[in-house]
Amino acid sequence: MTAPSPPSPSPWRPRRRELVLGAAGAAAAAAAVWSRRLRGGSPAPPAADPLAVRLGDEKGQRAAVYLARARSYDEDLSQPILEGLAALGIDRTRVRGKKVLLKPNLVETRADAPHINTHPAVVRGAAEAFRRLDAAAVVVAEGQGHRRDSELVLAESGLRDVLERERLPYTDLNHDDLCARPNRCGLTGLPRLVLPRRLAWADFKVSLAKMKTHHWVGCTLSLKNLFGVLPGVHYGWPKNVLHQRGIEQSIVDIAHTVDFDLAIVDGIVGMEGDGPIMGTPKPVGVLALGARLASVDATCARIMGLRVSALRYLLASSAAGLGPIRAEHIEQRGVAVADVASSFALLDAPHLRRYRG
């Protein structure tokens, strides 16, 4: 087993703007963002619910999302990932010499259930792709939300074998050294977020997510995957503080505070029904890549047959400038959404009905 690698010895230092912003500044900035409903960019009275924003003009935001066919985990997945990176303009000049962090989605673990976690083959493919682009280092890091025994999680998920075979260092983000950053958005009311130092070490961070339904917020993709960067030693299992403060609010706060450079969503075999753990396999045969996480998730939601306009954390992410989610503002590269679309079943629960396409 590859031993968990130590965090970077270099100290984490907040930028001057972050020091000045502080808790009061974050609250003021959040109020400014959410006091305006995006209807043609015109101001509107503050909403009682800070997530009650409408899909507006997105302030000129534009993005590209690449969809690659990948029908099996037995394929060489580094090839479609490299093709996707090239289509997005992420080439050797962007990656050479960078320290790359891959953050997969690990929840409950069963080696015979590829629909629960990011598949180890996708982790291997992404690592190989970045190595071919001359990354200085590639590491895998996760802070799983349910099971505290990381050795068991790695073994049962099948990821440990890939880490050993590919000589990939692994950092348990639940137990890494800690630092703190001001909460740039403030929807949860938390003045700052406590984070693992490994994030500050990385030059290029990738949310290596899974395409799944979610029994509370409709779907879990690259944005929701960022829950796993917050350390369990501080926030509890399964990140209890964040659930109490609001899952959707937490998603937006984390994404706005922790800058990730790329999303790769494993939709080769997704999950439908009672996600993110108890659902059933849903073969789709696709990988989705993009530099704007909200745009990638909106595209994946359309593949899943979900109503993007009902996904409140995507609306709030768009309002916060984290990427456009309107289809006309996202340039689709690779295969078309219609060619890989496959409606995902949701639990028959009243709070989930609004997500049905």
Q: What are the pLDDT digits (tens) for 234-273? A: 998 888 889 899 999 999 999 999 999 999 999 999 999 9
Residue 113 and residue 188: Cα distance in Å, rounded? 33
Does 49 fall in a domain?
no
Average pLDDT, the chain: 86
- Percent of the chain at pLDDT exceeding 90: 74
Residue 224 and residue 277: Cα distance in Å, rounded? 14
Indicate the pLDDT class of residue 111, thresholds 50, 70 and 90.
Answer: low
Pairing type for strands 262-272 and 204-214 reads parallel
pLDDT at 227: 94
Does 29 fall in a domain?
no
Does 312 fall in a domain?
yes
CATH number at residue 119: 3.40.50
* Among candidate residues 61, 98, 80, the one with its CA nearest the CA of residue 261: 98
Average pLDDT over residues 191-197: 97
Buried b (16+ CB within 10 A) or exposed e, 186-202: bbbebebbebbbbbbbb
Does 44 fall in a domain?
no
Instruction: Say whether the peptide bond before residue 80 is cis (omega within 30 degrees of 0).
Output: no
Residue 270 belongs to what H/E stretch? Answer: strand 262-272
Does 298 fall in a domain?
yes
* Among candidate residues 204, 200, 202, 207, the one with its CA nearest the CA of residue 180: 200
Between residues 56 and 151, which one has the greater pLDDT? 151
Domain count of the fold of the chain = 1
pLDDT at 39: 30
Does 10 fall in a domain?
no
Does 315 fall in a domain?
yes
Q: What are phi and psi of 184, to 5 degrees?
A: -70, -20
Per-residue pLDDT at 199 exceeds 60: yes
Indicate the pLDDT class of residue 51, thresholds 50, 70 and 90.
Answer: confident
Q: What burial class does residue 254 get, using C-beta atoms within 10 Å of its C-beta: 0-12 exposed, 13-18 middle, 19+ buried?
A: buried
Per-residue pLDDT at 6 exceeds 60: no
Indicate the pLDDT class of residue 50, thresholds 50, 70 and 90.
Answer: low
Structural domain of 241: 60-355
Residue 99 and residue 79: Cα distance in Å, rounded? 21
Question: Any idea what the Cα angle at residue 179 is, between residues 178 and 180, rounded to 5°?
Answer: 135
Indicate the pLDDT class of residue 145, thresholds 50, 70 and 90.
Answer: confident
| Cα atoms found within 13 Å of the Cα of residue 350, Cβ hemisphere only | 0
279-291 per-position pLDDT tens digit:
999 999 999 999 9
pLDDT at 2: 46
Between residues 34 and 287, which one has the greater pLDDT? 287
Does 317 fall in a domain?
yes
